[in-house]
A and B are shown apart, each in its own frame.
Chain A
Amino acid sequence: MMEIGLNHYLVLSTILFAIGLVGVMKRKNLLLLFFATEILLNAVNIAFAAISHYYGDLTGQMFAFFVIAIAASEVAVGLGLLIVWYKRHGNIDLDAMTSMKG
């Protein structure tokens, strides 16, 4: 109980990942969907850092860095697209994005 091991971190990472997935499935607003994606990425980062620590290997931390870099560029491009969409249609709800509906 008092000794924090790798399993503790993996369980925490699972819980956070589950919260993020609930957010992805529950949200309609695209901005809040982005927030849920950030939660997913962060949950994975915790698992990477924990595994890296408990196995004395730096590869996990390296992957966490690249995940952070990818998240940053995803936000830049995604927010740009979102702003363009909002300027044209006045909302960012997923329900309104049915222009490809058959």
Chain B
Amino acid sequence: MFEAIAFYLFAFLTIAMFYITVTTKHALYALTALAAGMIFISAFFFILGADFLGVVQIIVYTGAVMALYAFGMMFFDTTREVKEKQGNKAIIVGLSTLAAVLIVLIVSAPMISDNIVALYPAIDGVGNIQEIGLVLFTKYLIPFEVAAIMLLVAMVAGIVLAGKKMDISLTLMDAEEIKANEEKNKKVLS
């Protein structure tokens, strides 16, 4: 009963938030709606008993990814309205619905034919986080380590790409210096 109420409530909220994200003309509204949608999605994980996944969803997505987007957006001109593609709306909606149904069919095909066997069945008497630990550090240890290295590489790449010319501080320069610097940049970059 309560599960059903929670499911429908959060389903409605998530769909509404993501709908705002893809339709709004302001990048800032899109960002906040997306962050709210991420929080609502973590509610599904808690309903499904995947507590650790729900916590990770809040920490990583809303805490790290959205904060990164928010900081990244300070570089861009976000007050300006976003231009949209002028395409055929019916084709867009039809194609995306078709693709989504296709993906669900692919995922659910083995379940409909009852072909799924639980490889790592849930263990009785321990919590979700303990189960996750047991499986993650035995069967999925190598992918876990590879993911750690991938995150390190991504961090270095992010610093290198975004951190160019970080030694120049615009607040410590006067107007002429900034202008001269901009001229120099234009020559180098174009």
Spell out A's residues near B (CB within 8 Å).
1-4, 6, 8-10, 12-29, 31-32, 34-36, 38-39, 42, 45-47, 49-53, 55-59, 61-62, 64-66, 68-77, 79-84, 86-88, 91-93, 95
In the bound complex, how far is the Cα of B77 from the Cα of A13, in angstroms? 33
User: Whole-angstrom distance between the alpha carbons of A60 and B103 in the complex?
Assistant: 16
Sample of 9 A–B contacts (CB below 8 Å): A4-B3, A12-B44, A16-B14, A17-B99, A18-B99, A62-B135, A68-B57, A71-B65, A75-B68
Q: Most chain-A Cβ atoms within 10 A of its Cβ — which of B52, B69, B77?
A: B69
Report which of B27, B48, B119 forms a contact with A59, defined as CB distance below 8 A: B119
* A75, B65: Cβ atoms closer than 8 Å: yes
Could you say which residues of chain B place their CB within 8 Å of the CB of A61? 50, 52-53, 132
Q: How far is the CA of A35 from the CA of B69 in the complex (A)?
A: 9
Asked if B30 and A55 sit within 8 Å, CB to CB, the answer is no
CB-CB under 8 A for A58 and B68, given A25-B87, A25-B96, A38-B34: no
Expressed in whole angstroms, the Cα–Cα distance for A20 and B23 within the complex equals: 11
**A36 near B135 (CB under 8 angstroms)?**
no
Q: Which residues of A contact B104 (CB under 8 A)?
A: 10, 13-14, 17, 47
CB-defined contacts of B93 to chain A, threshold 8 Å = 18, 22
Docked Cα-Cα span, A35 to B31, in Å, equals 8
Contact A76 B157 (CB under 8 A): yes
What distance in Å separates the Cβ of A81 from its nearest Cβ neighbour in chain B? 6
Residues in A with CB closer than 8 Å to B85 are 25-28
- Is B50 in contact with A35, judged by CB distance below 8 angstroms? no
One digit per residue, 1 when the CB lies within 8 angstroms of any chain A CB and 0 when it does not, for chain B 37-59 equals 11001001100111011001100
Question: Using Cβ atoms and an 8 Å threshold, which residues of chain B touch A75?
Answer: 65, 68-69
Tell me how far the C-beta of B147 lies from the nearest C-beta in chain A, rounded to whole angstroms.
4
Residue of B45, B73, B111, B135 touching A51 (CB-CB under 8 A): B111
Contacts of B120 in A (CB 8 A): 57-59
From A46, A82, A83, A93, residue with most partner B Cβ within 10 Å? A83
Within 8 A of A (CB), among B100-157: 100-101, 103-104, 107-108, 111, 116, 118-122, 131-132, 135-136, 139-140, 143, 147, 150-151, 153-155, 157
The interface residues of chain A lying within 8 Å CB-to-CB of B97 are 18
CB contacts under 8 Å to A, within B60-84, are: 60-61, 64-65, 68-69, 72-73, 75-77, 82-84
Distance in Å: Cβ of B94 to nearest Cβ of chain A: 10
Residues of A within 8 A of B68 (CB): 75-76, 79
Residues of B contacting A24 with CB < 8 Å?
A: 96
